[in-house]
Every structure is written in structure tokens, then in C-alpha cells.
Amino acid sequence: MSASNSGIVHLVGAGAGDLGLFTLRARELIAAADVLVYDYLVHPEAVKWTRPGCEVVYVGKKAGCHTVPQEEIEALLVKHAQAGKKVVRLKGGDPYIFGRGGEEARTLAKAGVAFEVVPGVTAALAAGAYAGIPLTFRNVSTSLVLLTGHEDPTKTGGTQVDWRGFGALKNTTLAIYMGMSRLAHILAELQAGGLAPDTPAAVVQWASLGRQRSVSGTVADLPARVAEAKLAAPAIIFIGEVVRDHEAIDWFEHLPLFGRRVAITRTRDQNSELREKLETLGAEVLELPLINITKDVDKHGFVEILAELGSYDWIVFTSANGVRYFFEEFLKGFKDIRALGLLRFACIGRATARAIESYHLRVECMPDTATGASLADALIETGSLDSAKVIVVTGNLNRDKLVKKLEAARAIVDRLPLYKTEKTDLSADPVADDFRQHGADAILFASSSAAESYHAQSASLKLAPDAKKPLVGSIGEQTTETLVEHGMKPHFIAAKPSLDALVSALIERLRATA
Ligand code: SAH
């Protein structure tokens, strides 16, 4: 059969662990896919790169359940490709290294389905880089062997790993995948083959992620150290002289937030930026999207304001979302930015200003403190409010304080509601479940509405008795006020209302308690 339609399967490596280890090609293909089929160990954030309407199929392990059988996955790939779909088959690490990617490629070839393979950073490479273990080293290790420790004990024939043979190799680094449940057996076999018991060895679990943990020792004492540290899969076992002195070049485990669990509470979209900042500093991030912001335009009001746009003096934005939604709607009507006339722009928050500036428009008024009240003060200070017409773009939270203050300064204010902020329900969310069971070192609030939502679902987010109680962090005045109102006085507050300042406050606070 020939590939008569344009369906194709991309076998794509997702890299091991950190989102930053995806290739550009992988990201491009995910963004263009009609169907995404992905595994356990693929960074879940990558699913957000899909376009709306992409069918997303998870075929990995679920708690207590088995994985989808391999034949079923292969049949699924063939079926979608033959229906003309662009399919991305996303696998952890590299698709051709212990990931059954080879089998999938063969099935596709046999079925006459077009396919492409995109390599990925395999776990051994990620683990070496993030744990201070160079996999080869001049005069010390001149070869690298990737091995699987997972073998079917019922299997007969020639596919068993020859551990004793590998134990006899000199100047070699061994990197063993899927070997944790048989660690003692594997090490004993390697020693039986001639591997010296004092050879340096290490285990790196969850490599390159905030929850990475590692232990090192010798081939003789590694099992005891692993048991003591309670390390388990997914992990890479390294054996060889290159493990020696890894502390000296271990940069990752020395990052300021390494080993810290931090819960973040913005919307799914907004969380990404904060997640990235925290992960770059080594943290393990738990995303609890406590709020959801959706466009909700009062069509009638919007048309009325647009018709009179030339008569307004100021337009006021309190969030980047407001800016985005305003321009989406405005450009639908006008298709020409000049229709804004001489409207002047005021806003709070750097992110809001950036959103306005992205349209090459100047922000003429922005207070240092990102509250509605200080925005009103700053506008009053311009001396331009008397009888001025002002549009205040709002969500369903009406910004009463701001509007009242402007009106008291004799401005004529029209509210323009463009979006609504809603509380989400996290009672069935797996990340929320992880939070409930294990807690976190800190939880960050970047808005009053997230604080409100947390309070509203405090029953379903209640921590288990032995979970770690998180320190509470607030981005600024209003958020702090709301937290205090609900009996959650913050342990640290950002010096100014920005994500960077919030992260700095977190680091300082954790350092002080360390
Ligand atoms: N194709 C994948 C390997 C799949 S087999 C790759 O190229 O990396 C699954 C095994 O990979 C796990 O049992 C573990 O040994 C290893 N692994 C995957 N991700 C890992 C990670 N972040 N840290 C350590 N080991 C990992």
C-alpha cells in the first residue's frame, strides 16, 4: 500500500526531564499536530503547545493501571495517519533508545505510512549533565555503554544482557536504564565479571527536573545508599571512574531553589512564565491553576464605546489579559490602529505595559505600585482628569475603588468589562492531589482572586497530616490583604509587585529558614 493521503507520523523524542531539553523541531511539530500521542515521562507542559482542536491521547502509565499495550498504540498511529492526520508520537528521551520507537517505525514502514524521526536528549545524557558526571573523559573513560536493566525473566534466547561481560570492560562508563528494581543483582553480576568493588557509582533519579535526587558511592555500597535515600525509578545508574569528583562540577544541585517544591496558583497560561523562572533556579514546580480567565465581552457596551472612541481621553488597563482582549475586539471592528485617535494609555503592572507597548503604543501613566488606587492617584497627578472621559477595562471584578477615585476627581468613567476571572475546581486534579499528600516548601499567590479561590476550596486542598506545610508568599498589597482576610498571613511579600521580586523574596525567605 502506498501513502496516498498526506497523513504522517512523527516519532519525536521529548528529551528526558526538563522542558528546555525539547528540540526546536519537536516543538514545531507538536504545534502543528492533529493528533498527539504521548507517554509517561514526557513533560506534561508540552501538551500546551498543541493547537486548539488537536486530539491528545495519553498512553502512559496511570496509577494502578497498566500502560496501553504496544500493539494498540501502533494500531492507533497507523489508523490516524491513514485517515490523513498529522500525528506526533511523543516519547521520553530519544525514541530509539529503550523506548520501542524502533518497533513503531517498523510497523509504520510495513503499513506504508510516511514517518519522520526526531531524536531527543536521552536520559543518560540529561542525567550526566545535571549531576556533574561527564560520560566520557580523556584518559579515564573512552567508551560509553547504554544498557537496559529491565529484562523479561521469562525470556529465553540470546537477548539477556551479558552483565559479566560488561563488568570486564576497562575505561568504560556504564549507564543503566530501568535497573533500579534489580540494582543489587546487576552490581553483583558486574563484579562477578571483574568490575572492582571500589569503582565509583551513582544513581540519578528524575534527572534535570526540580525533583532530581542523586546518590553516589562505590559499586560495593551503592545499594545500601540508594535504599537509605529511598531512590527508585525513573533513574539512571552510572558506573565508572567519571563519577569520581562529580560534586566539583555539579552545578544543578547547587542552584538556590534546588530540592524545593513550590506551588504556583495563576491561570494555566500565566503559570508558564513563573514556572520557567522557578525551574531555572532548580525548583520543583506544582501548578495549581486556582483561577481561570476567559474573554467575556459585553458586546453592546463595547460597540457603544467604539462608536464614540474619538471622544475619550484615557483608556485604563489593569491586566495584560484586558489589553489582549481589547485589541482582539478593537481590531475586528477597525483593522487600523489609527482609529484609536489620541486616546492616552494608563495601566498598572509591567506585564500590562509590555502588552500595550507590543502594539507600539506609549504608556503615559503607570504608578510604581500596582494597585487600582495608586493608578487613580497617578492619573489625578497628571492634572488632566477634570471632565475627561475615561474607559476602564475590567474583568468581572469591577475595580470600584479605582473608578470611584477617578469620578471623585471629576472624570467621566465608562467601564468596559472584557473578561471574567473564575475559580477553578481542583478537587480531581492530579497535581493538586500531589500537593495535598506531600505539601510544598512554599505556595505563591500573584493575585487576590487566586487567594480567594484557594480559600474557597480549602476543604478540597486540605493537606494530609504529614504533608509539608508551605510558606505563603504574596506578590503585593491587594493579594496580601485578601490572604490576611482569610487567615493566611503571608510569610514573605515581594518588594515590588513583579514575579521576579516574588521569586527573590522566596529565595531570601528560604535562605533565612535554611
Ligand atoms: N527513551 C527514553 C528511555 C525510556 S526507558 C530515553 O531515551 O531516555 C525509561 C527509563 O529511562 C527509566 O526507567 C529511567 O531509567 C530512564 N529515564 C527516563 N527519564 C529519566 C529521568 N528524567 N531521570 C532519570 N532517568 C530517566
* Cα-to-centroid distance, 290 and ligand 1 (Å): 31
The percent of residues in the chain predicted with pLDDT above 90, rounded, is 78
Q: Does 84 share its domain with 159?
A: no
Does 435 map to a domain?
yes
Q: Is the pLDDT of residue 164 over 70?
A: yes
Strand-pairing partners, residue 214, are 204
What confidence tens digit (pLDDT) does each residue in 373-387 have?
899 999 999 999 999
Question: 440 C-alpha to center of ligand 1: Å?
Answer: 25
Tell me which residues have their CB closer than 6 angstroms to ligand 1.
16-17, 41, 91-94, 97-99, 122-123, 127, 177-178, 204, 206-208, 233-236
Give the Å distance between the CA of 245 and the centre of ligand 1.
Answer: 24
Residue 237, domain CATH: 3.30.950.10
300 and 285, same structural domain?
no
117-126, 270-279, 440-449: range with lowest mean pLDDT:
270-279
Give me the percent of the chain exceeding a pLDDT of 70: 96
The confidence score (pLDDT) of residue 365 equals: 96
CA distance 502 to 483: 15
Regarding whether 14 and 58 lie in a shared domain, the answer is yes
Q: Residue 324 contacts by C-beta under 8 Å, 6 or more apart in sequence?
A: 355
> Residue 367 corresponds to which cell in the numbers above?
504608578
Q: What is the mean pLDDT of residues 485-498?
A: 94
Name the pLDDT band for 134 (thresholds 50, 70, 90): very high
Rg (alpha carbons) of the chain, rounded to whole number:
28
Amino acid at 40: Y
Residue 41 CA: which ligand 1 atom is closest? 19
pLDDT at residue 226 above 70? yes
Residue 445 in this model has a pLDDT that exceeds 90: yes
pLDDT of the residue at 154: 58
Contact 443, 470 (CB under 8 A): yes
Q: Tell whether 162 and 104 lie within a shared domain.
A: no
Element (H, E) at 292: strand 291-295
Report pLDDT for 280. 93
Stretch 93-114: mean pLDDT, rounded? Answer: 96
- Asked whether 185 and 228 are in contact (CB, 8 A), the reply is no
Task: Kindly state the average pLDDT of the residues 115-130.
Answer: 98
CATH number at residue 277: 3.40.50.10090
Mean pLDDT of the chain: 92
How many Å lie between the centroid of ligand 1 and the Cα of residue 256? 26
Q: Is the pLDDT of residue 3 over 50?
A: no
Q: Is the pLDDT of residue 1 over 80?
A: no
- Is there a domain that residue 3 lies in? no
User: How much is the pLDDT for 241?
Assistant: 97
Residue whose CA is closest, atom 25 of ligand 1? 235
Q: Please check whether residue 97 lies inside any domain of the structure.
A: yes
Whole-angstrom CA distances from 162 to 22, 154, 185, 351 are: 33, 16, 13, 58
Pair 140, 246 in one domain: yes
Task: Work out whether strand 492-493 and strand 471-474 pair parallel, antiparallel, or are unpaired.
Answer: parallel
Widest Cα–Cα separation across the chain: 90
Specify whether the CB–CB gap between 387 and 412 falls below 8 A. Answer: yes
The three-state secondary structure class of 436 is helix
Give bridge partners of residue 117 from the DSSP assignment: 11
514 DSSP 8-state letter: -
Cell of 109: 514502514
Question: Nearest C-alpha to atom 5 of ligand 1 is from which residue?
Answer: 98
What are the tens digits of pLDDT across the range 28-66?
999 999 999 999 899 988 998 999 899 999 998 765 566
Query: Quick one: pLDDT at residue 45?
Result: 85
**Contact of 213 with 235, CB cutoff 8 Å:** no
Residue 2 lies in a domain: no
* Beta bridge partner(s), residue 390: 314, 413
Q: Are residues 113 and 15 in the same domain?
A: yes
pLDDT-based confidence at 68, cuts 50/70/90?
confident
Cα 234 to ligand 1 centre (Å): 6
User: How many angstroms is it from 235 CA to the middle of ligand 1?
Assistant: 7
Whether 98 maps to a domain, the answer reads yes
Can you tell me the mean pLDDT for 107-116?
Answer: 97
Put the strands of the sheet holding 261-264 in their side by side order. 284-287, 261-264, 442-445, 471-474, 492-493
- Ligand 1 centroid from CA 41, angstroms: 8
Shared domain for 298 and 414, answered yes or no, is yes
Angle formed at CA 240 by CA 238 and CA 242, multiple of 5 degrees: 95
Query: What's the CATH number where 59 sits?
Result: 3.40.1010.10
Counting from 1 in the atom list of ligand 1, the atom nearest the Cα of 207 is 23
User: Does residue 494 share a domain with residue 388?
Assistant: no
Task: Note the helical H segments in 335-476.
Answer: 350-357, 372-381, 400-408, 430-438, 448-456
- Give the residue, out of 43, 212, 236, with the most ligand 1 atoms within 8 A of its beta carbon, to mutate for a pocket test: 236
Which positions are catalytic? 39, 61
Nearest CA to ligand 1 atom 2: 93
| Helix (H), strand (E) at residue 412 | strand 412-417
Q: Which three cell numbers stand for residue 54?
A: 488537536
- Is position 1 within any domain? no
Residue range 158-174: mean pLDDT, rounded: 91
| Cβ atoms of residues 415 and 316 within 8 Å | no
Of the pLDDT bands very low, low, confident and very high (cuts 50, 70, 90), residue 396 is confident
Would you state the pLDDT for residue 123? 98
CA–CA dist 274, 502 (Å, integer): 10
156: confidence class by pLDDT, cuts 50, 70, 90:
low
- Over residues 66-76, the mean pLDDT reads 90
pLDDT at 157 over 60: no
Atom of ligand 1 nearest to the CA of 179: 15
- pLDDT at 159 (0 to 100): 59
What is the mean predicted confidence (pLDDT) over 91-103? 95
Q: C-alpha grid cell for residue 86?
A: 498529522
pLDDT in tens, 329-354: 999 888 899 999 999 999 988 889 99
Q: Is 309 helix (H, G, I), strand (E, B) or coil?
A: helix
Whether 314 and 267 map to the same domain: the answer is no
Q: Note the pLDDT tens digit of each residue in 24-34.
A: 999 999 999 99
H or E, element range at 397: none
- 140 and 233 in a single domain? The answer is yes
Of residues 147 and 460, more confidence is placed in 147
| C-alpha cell at position 405 | 477615585
Report d(CA 28, CA 33) in Å as an integer. Answer: 9
379 plus 309 within the same structural domain: yes
Last-in-domain residue among 391, 423, 455: 423
pLDDT of 368 reads 86
366 in a structural domain: yes
Please check whether residues 305 and 403 belong to one and the same domain.
yes
The residue among 197, 226, 252 that closes a domain is 252
Q: Is the pLDDT of residue 2 over 50?
A: no
3-state helix, strand, coil in the chain (%, to 5): 40, 20, 40
3-state secondary structure of 91: strand
Does position 155 have pLDDT exceeding 60, yes or no? no
Which of 398, 423, 448 is the endpoint of a domain?
423
The whole-number pLDDT of residue 410 equals 95
Query: Is residue 107 one of the residues assigned to a domain?
Result: yes
Distance separating alpha carbons of residues 334 and 329, to the nearest angstrom: 9
Number of folded domains that form the chain: 4
* Containing structural domain, residue 68: 8-121
Atom index in ligand 1 nearest the CA of residue 149 equals 15
Q: Which of 1-5, 49-53, 410-414 has the lowest mean pLDDT?
A: 1-5
